[in-house]
Structure formats: structure tokens, C-alpha cells
Amino acid sequence: MAGTDTSLPITLAPGPAIILCEPQLGENIGSAARAMANFGLWDLRLVRPRDGWPNEKAVAAASRADHVLERVRVFETLEDAISDLTLIYATTARSRDMQKEVLGPEEASANMASHVHAGRGVGLLFGRERWGLLNDEVAMADAIVTLPVEPAFASLNIAQAVLLMAYEWRRQSETGKALPFSDGLDETAPRQDLIGLFEHLEGVLDQSGFFTTPDKRPSMVNNLRTALTRGRFTAQEIRTLRGVISSIDRRHERPNPNRQKPQKPDQPKD
């Protein structure tokens, strides 16, 4: 989905930290950074990335999410990576042999939004590409977050999992309540304009003989009005529709280029 507007400033609003534990592929780190940038997250923390940091493959996969990559912090232990946070959720698709509350992405994101709004730090843990998080890493989290995936094929790519959680975070936060460029639509026309359209159309249909059965006219009019009301037309759209109706109504007044002119009878010869 294209649509990046490079003229707009990037706002680093408070949000959860994304913590990748021992990520193996630079491409996955970059794709995760891109997913974060899509939904306004920017605090990316890496715990012992296999190929070190910085990583050229991550830069290529991030697709210009430079403000995320420039702020990446690398830690030797998970304890160091989460030391400043007060709420930690571990993402996993596997059942764990421990007493941990299990949340869906919507509930988890709502909790995180309240926590961040109160000025406290939040983190989301994501595991390795091959086997996810270790049990001792999950044990350090306050709860488990899991997605409603197909049990027979539950494994997600790291970047996909980050994308889904970042999306749900954005949806629950104040920043994500309104869709972009959704406020540029014109308002629906006043009801009197719509009534004028009804009356105009019905008058022309009466003149053209459209209502061939008088006792059915009321129900047909109601159906037409119901259909037109669903359109939620703007004032400009109603003016256009009335122009179309007027044009059709005046059709009989205009010459038809396809109509053949009657031929004059032959004049008698002298």
C-alpha cells in the first residue's frame, strides 16, 4: 500500500518498546522496523542479534524507516533491555507450562495504552525466528499475548507479528482513532435539498408515464426515496443529479440527428 508523504514530520509519540530476542536475520529486523514505523512506534531494542549491529540487510528491508533504525539499542541480556519498563508482555503462539494470564491483542493493547498514558514504560517481547521465546524469558513477562491464529499453522514471521501488534496498538491509542485523510469529505446535503431531488425526479417520471399503475405509485416512490437516501449525497452531487434529470426531461426538445427528415413529394413536371 503506497502513500508515504515525506513532507509530513514524524512524531515520536510515547508507545511500547519492541524487543527482539536474539533475532537471526537482518531482513527481519528491518521489516519489523518498517512495521513499527507504519503505526507510529520507534523504540526498537535488540538482544544479542546474531549478525551484530548495524546490519546492511536490515537497512534495505526497513524501506526508509530510518528514524527507527537510528534509535535501535542493543543489549547483552533481556534483563538489561527491560530494566526501565514496568509492564512487559511476551508474544507467543505456544502453550507454556506456567501460570500466566493470556491476553488477546486488543485487550493487551488497551492495557498498554492506559499504562503509557500514565507515563509508564511498556514492552512487547518477540522471540527468535526458529523457536520463539524461551520459557525463562516468558517468565519475566507480566502476561502472554497470543493471536487467534490457525492452531495447525500458528507460527508467524517476526515482522508479521510486530505488524499485527503495532496495528492493534495504534487502533487502541488516541493517535489511531481517526483514519488518515478521512476528514476531507464534504458534508451530506441538507434534507431539503434531497426532498427537492425527490420532487423533481417524481414530477418528471409522472410526465413521462413511468408510473403505469396508479395504485403502485406510492410504493415505487418509497423505494426510490429509500435508495436515494442511502446515497448520502452532497449538495454538489444533488445539483448534478438534478441537472441529469433536467437534461433527460428536455430530450424531446432537442433535434435527433438520427431521425430521418420526411421527404417532400415529387413536384409535377410542366
- Tens of pLDDT along the chain (270 residues)? 455 666 778 888 999 999 999 999 999 999 999 999 999 999 999 999 999 999 999 999 999 899 999 999 999 999 999 999 999 999 988 777 778 899 999 999 999 999 999 999 999 999 998 888 999 999 999 999 998 888 888 788 999 999 999 999 999 876 655 555 556 678 888 999 999 999 999 999 999 889 999 899 999 999 999 999 998 899 999 999 999 999 988 876 656 555 555 566 666 655
Contacts of 121 (CB under 8 A, 6+ apart): 17, 84, 85, 86, 87
Examine the domain organization and report whether 168 and 91 are in the same domain.
Answer: yes
Q: Where residue 139 sits, what CATH number does that domain have?
A: 3.40.1280.10
Place of cell 509530513: 8
Instruction: Say whether both 206 and 154 belong to one domain.
Output: no
Which residues lie closer than 8 Å to 197 by C-beta, 6 or more apart? 228, 233, 238, 241, 242
pLDDT at 95: 75
Hey, what's the cell of 103? 491476553
Side chain identity at residue 95, one-letter code: S
Q: Which structural domain range is residue 247 located in? A: 191-251
| The pLDDT value given to residue 3 | 55
- For residue 266, being part of any structural domain is answered with no
* Residue 149 placed within a domain: yes
Question: What pLDDT shows up at residue 103?
Answer: 94
Q: Is residue 8 part of a domain?
A: no
Same domain, 93 and 213: no
44, amino acid identity = L
Bridge partners of 91, per DSSP, are 145
216 and 149 in a common domain: no
Q: Check residue 108 and give its pLDDT.
A: 96
Predicted structure pTM score:
0.69
Same-domain pairing of 168 and 246: no
Q: Are residues 106 and 158 in the same domain?
A: yes
Residue 205 belongs to domain with CATH number: 1.10.8
d(CA 139, CA 147): 19
Return the sign of the alpha-carbon dihedral for residues 212, 210, 228, 197.
negative
Q: For residue 151, what pLDDT is reported?
A: 81
User: Could you give the number of structural domains in the chain?
Assistant: 2
